[in-house]
A = this chain, B = another copy of it.
């Protein structure tokens, strides 16, 4: 099953990501509706031609006409939305999302929906340190990764549809992970990095540091401007995996500390060589 031009797509939550989805899909001629909390976001999106229609109310007709719905909400808000309104979707509707944690919501959502509505989870690995549909920009998907997160409850058709969505949005790499593997990966690749950036910023309150810094510090703390409401929720929803990754990191950090303290230059160099070799795999194609 691939995305077809006569499919009606509904975006729920028209922020930076939802807006960027709408922008990419509208540009390719799809019919895109939106439901979001703020009227000004709807007005903006209509004015810019990013959506065909939308509103702040949960319009049963709008929900009931959607062939594909993309949820771009905080995890708990997302689950509650479906608990209250999931019954409005028509038989055969496919629901996907952009949520940054999976195990804790995917099974629950698949269980609470009617059997004739399918939820196929996905995680677009793209974002910026700004918010709102006003900052939407579908160029953030270029060179970025898109992870489809199926369970054994998902059909081959919905998985294919979700992969096709990732490709049509313009992601460079579309892959699949189980919810458990996803959460382990994301604990390391995304949540741990946000922990580190936050702590690097918190651990020192020298004044005037901005006059002495180089770009390495700026790079490591770019994400230290952090949405505390969203990230604290994501951390808690993936607590087990994140604590394990934090433990691995601090073991490695303590190892380097001990090597430095004891003057083990060759041991430090060996860690740096491992680091250099591994990092090379992450270079983006230029």
Interface residues of A (CB under 8 A from B): 125-127, 144-145, 147, 173, 175, 177, 182, 184-186, 188-190, 192-206, 209-229, 231-233, 235-236, 239, 242-243, 245-257, 260-261, 263, 265, 268-269, 271-276, 278-282, 284
Q: Chain B residue with minimal CB distance to A192? A: B200
18 contacts between A and B (CB under 8 A): A126-B214, A145-B211, A147-B212, A188-B206, A193-B200, A194-B216, A195-B253, A196-B253, A200-B252, A210-B282, A221-B282, A222-B279, A224-B276, A224-B278, A226-B272, A226-B275, A226-B276, A250-B257
Do A268 and B202 contact each other (CB < 8 Å), given the known contacts A217-B193, A224-B279?
no
- Dominant SS among interface residues on chain A: helix
Return A235 CB to nearest CB of chain B, in Å.
6
A246: B residues at CB distance < 8 A: 253, 256-257, 260
Which one of B212, B228, B265, B280 lies within 8 Å of A268 (CB-CB)? B228
A260 contacts B242, CB within 8 Å?
A: yes
User: Separation in Å of the A174 CB from the closest CB of chain B?
Assistant: 9
Once the chains bind, are B235 and A260 in contact (CB under 8 Å)? yes
Distance between A108 CB and nearest chain B CB, rounded to angstroms = 19
Contact B188–A204 (Cβ < 8 Å): yes
Shortest CB-to-CB span from A42 to chain B, Å, is 28
Q: Are B201 and A189 interface neighbours, CB within 8 A?
A: no
- Give CA–CA (A177, B194) in the complex, Å: 31
Residues of chain B within 8 A (CB-CB) of A200 are: 192-193, 196, 249, 252
> Which residues on the B side are within 8 Å of A226 (C-beta)?
272, 275-276
Q: Are B185 and A212 in contact (CB under 8 A)?
A: yes
Contact of A203 among B145, B219, B242, B249 (CB under 8 A): B249
Known interface pairs A190-B217, A268-B235; A210-B253 also in contact (CB < 8 Å): no
Cβ contact within 8 Å between B202 and A271: yes
On chain B, the residues within 8 Å of A242 by CB distance are 260
